[in-house]
Amino acid sequence: MNRAGERYHVRTMKLAIATCSSLPDWEIDDAPLHEALVARNIEIAHEVWTNPDVQWNRYDACLIRTTWDYVQKIEHYLNWADQTADRIKLFNPARTVRWNTCKSYLRDLETSGLPVVPTRWIEAGTPVDLGTILDEEDWKRGFMKPRVGATAFGTMRFSADRDSLQDAQSNLDRMLQTQGMLIQPYLEDVETRGEWSGIFIDGVWSHAVQKIPVPGDYRVQDDFGATDQPGDADGPERAVSEQVMEVIRSHPEWTGEQDGMAPLYCRVDLLRSETRLMINEVELVEPSLFFRHHPKAADALADALIERC
């Protein structure tokens, strides 16, 4: 009440959850988040980011979640993020989207002293010979992925034998027609240990997940039959992921945040090569956050979102 004894009218917060038009029916990992938001009297609507009829200024904020079709529309996506952020609060911010959708952000992390998977950076249109790279780096097997990609799009493992190199060279030449590529050593431990992911909400450690591919595969996404389970939350992986978070917080020019504020959500993906831990990716735009393994993270994200709005 105010001093005159009259009741204030508290307007319901309206939140757009950005998604894509091709979201698979089985994707329900965000259900705990939706429930947490509704329980806090937030009015949510799932809006397809490519829909030109969406009136984004109807909402108080937009939370990017399952915009998984941006790879083939990257410039459109970046412009959408900029325009949406001009109208309402966007999480994570448009500057984060620009920095994190291109894997060149890994260069920034490496320059900051973080352990990133060794990488040869190939510019679009640049002719390269994969056999020469393997020889120069003394890698027995190699791995390629595009600078802009998701869900293993455009990735390929290869070895030094002629047939494998020929197939990989053809794939690389085709991909380089439109964008830059990353060439890395193939870390075979991914086939057995999988990928470890540490999740942060509002800059605070939340939980860990271990993603294991099907036997003989390297793809850790459930699109390809991979499984996931709660991961070790007290091992060296957590220490590395917390170093990543501290570095990110200290670089507002990457994230668009100020005063050491962390991104609203963050996922750090790590791989092992024997005893060495290396950063594979850091996801700040539309990652799966595996609420199914830690439902309290949904409550934490909902509360942090309200606080920031």
Instruction: Assign 268 to helix, strand or coil.
Output: strand
What pLDDT shows up at residue 150? 79
Judged against a pLDDT cut of 80, whether residue 269 lies above it is answered with: yes
Neighbours of 190 (CB within 10 A): 22
Q: Which two tokens stand for residue 172?
A: 């690389």
Task: Identify the band that residue 29 occupies on the pLDDT scale cut at 50, 70 and 90.
Answer: very high
From residue 101, alpha-carbon distances to 5, 260, 288 in Å are 51, 21, 15
Judged against a pLDDT cut of 90, whether residue 10 lies above it is answered with: no
Q: Which residues contact 261 (CB under 8 A, 6 or more apart)?
A: 203, 249, 252
Q: What is the DSSP string of 128-192?
A: --HHHHHHHHT-SEEEEEESS--TTTT-EEEESSHHHHHHHHHHHHHHTTTS-EEEEE--GGGGT
What pLDDT shows up at residue 151? 76
- Average pLDDT, integer, range 1-6: 45
Task: Identify the band that residue 1 occupies on the pLDDT scale cut at 50, 70 and 90.
Answer: very low
Cβ atoms 16, 55 nearer than 8 A:
no
Judged against a pLDDT cut of 90, whether residue 6 lies above it is answered with: no
- Average pLDDT, integer, range 280-288: 97
Among 10-14, 128-132, 168-172, 257-261, which is the least confidently predicted range? 10-14
Nearest residue to 199 (alpha-carbon basis) of 154, 160, 233, 169: 233
Bridge partners (DSSP) listed for residue 158:
142
Q: Which two tokens stand for residue 144?
A: 């390629």
Percent of the chain with pLDDT over 90: 88
Task: Identify the band that residue 153 occupies on the pLDDT scale cut at 50, 70 and 90.
Answer: confident
Assessment of whether the complete model's pTM goes beyond 0.85: yes
Residue linked to tokens 């539309």: 286
Judged against a pLDDT cut of 60, whether residue 5 lies above it is answered with: no
Judged against a pLDDT cut of 50, whether residue 139 lies above it is answered with: yes
Task: Identify the band that residue 25 occupies on the pLDDT scale cut at 50, 70 and 90.
Answer: confident
CA atoms of 133 and 28, how far apart (whole Å): 42
What pLDDT shows up at residue 223? 82
CA atoms of 286 and 67, how far apart (whole Å): 6
**Rg from Cα positions in the chain:** 21
Percent of the chain with pLDDT over 70: 96
Mean of pLDDT over the chain: 93
CA atoms of 176 and 124, how far apart (whole Å): 5
Neighbours of 200 (CB within 10 A): 25
Give, for 266, the enclosing helix (H) or strand (E).
Answer: strand 265-273
Bridge partners (DSSP) listed for residue 171:
none
- DSSP code of 304? H
Cβ atoms 260, 250 nearer than 8 A:
yes
- What digits encode the pLDDT tens for the residues 164-203? 999 999 999 999 999 999 999 999 999 999 999 999 999 9
Among 8-17, 20-29, 48-57, 206-215, which is the least confidently predicted range? 8-17
- What digits encode the pLDDT tens for the residues 88-136? 999 999 999 999 999 999 999 999 999 999 999 999 999 999 999 999 9
